[in-house]
């Protein structure tokens, strides 16, 4: 299977008491989006300090919504509402501090997964690889971060690398493995599919599925 399928299987096999927050980085284009989705998925009642800071920075005391888009907009306003860069940095730091304080108090185990990491924009990647991973490693022991993509953070990072496991997914060129995986086709057909797809897990799987459908038709 490919990275996304593996993440999906991992999610379904997590114990029921584990809270799982999935992200596709193609749709997460800012720190505000990331924070909003975590809060909405885990429940705004678990983030009282963070939401208090958001309301303090948003003129008029706008209520934080359960809707992802509205929540993201509210956080963006709190950070970027017509203030200079120094003030924006100060607000972001205050919001982050409150967010991590709330996150550290969660009683349940939490998994945050980020798929297609290579599609995240540069500023979000920089934040994940410095602020997020460093703080989770040092302060938030009940949270696990799973990152999948064609490119991922350097697993040898000196700050959090000691608590990082890196799994490299490569092409599956073992024909016998494909034959054991797909016993519904002749070996010659399986071998041809694996070779033509160069062992790429997702493409080979799709090709074999199509062959099975056509073979049985």
Angle between helix 85-104 and 68-80 (nearest 10):
130
pLDDT at 144 over 70: yes
pLDDT at 62 over 70: no
pLDDT at 117: 92
The residues spanned by each domain of the chain are: 3-163, 175-216
Query: Which of the pair, 81 or 110, is modelled with greater confidence?
Result: 110
Classify domain 3-163 by CATH number: 3.40.50
pLDDT at 79: 85
pLDDT at 102: 95
pLDDT at 98: 95
Q: Mapping DSSP to helix (H, G, I), strand (E, B) and coil, where does residue 23 land?
A: strand
The long-range contacts involving 30-34, CB below 8 angstroms and separated by at least 24 positions, are 30/72, 30/76, 30/121, 30/123, 30/124, 31/79, 31/92, 31/123, 31/124, 31/127, 32/72, 32/75, 32/76, 32/79, 33/72, 34/124, 34/127, 34/128
Mean pLDDT of the chain: 87
Write down the number of H helices and E strands in the chain.
10, 3
pLDDT at 60: 60
Neighbours of 165 (CB within 10 A): 6
Q: Are 64 and 51 in contact (CB under 8 A)?
A: yes
pLDDT tens sequence across 147-189: 998 889 988 888 888 888 888 888 888 888 888 888 888 899 9
Average of per-residue pLDDT across 134-144:
90
pLDDT at 42: 92
pLDDT tens sequence across 178-197: 888 888 888 999 999 999 99
């Amino acid at each position: 299977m490919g990275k996304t399928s593996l993440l999906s299987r991992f999610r379904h096999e997590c114990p029921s008491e584990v809270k799982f927050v999935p992200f596709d980085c193609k749709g997460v284009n800012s720190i505000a989006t990331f924070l909003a989705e975590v809060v909405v998925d885990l429940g705004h009642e678990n983030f009282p300090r963070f939401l208090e800071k958001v309301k303090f920075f948003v003129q008029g005391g706008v209520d934080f919504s359960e809707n992802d888009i509205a929540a993201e907009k509210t956080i963006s306003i709190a950070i970027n509402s017509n203030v200079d860069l120094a003030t924006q940095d100060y607000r972001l730091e205050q919001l982050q501090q409150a967010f991590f304080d709330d996150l550290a108090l969660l009683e349940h185990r939490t998994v945050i997964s980020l798929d297609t990491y290579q599609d995240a924009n540069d500023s979000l990647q920089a934040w994940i690889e410095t602020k997020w991973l460093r703080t989770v490693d040092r302060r938030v022991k009940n949270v696990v971060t799973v990152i999948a993509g064609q490119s991922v953070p350097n697993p040898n990072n000196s700050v959090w690398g000691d608590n990082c496991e890196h799994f490299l997914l490569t092409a599956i060129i073992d024909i016998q493995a494909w034959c054991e995986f797909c016993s519904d086709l002749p070996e010659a057909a399986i071998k041809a599919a694996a070779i033509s797809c160069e062992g790429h897990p997702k493409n080979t799987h799709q090709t074999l599925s199509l062959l099975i459908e056509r073979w049985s038709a």
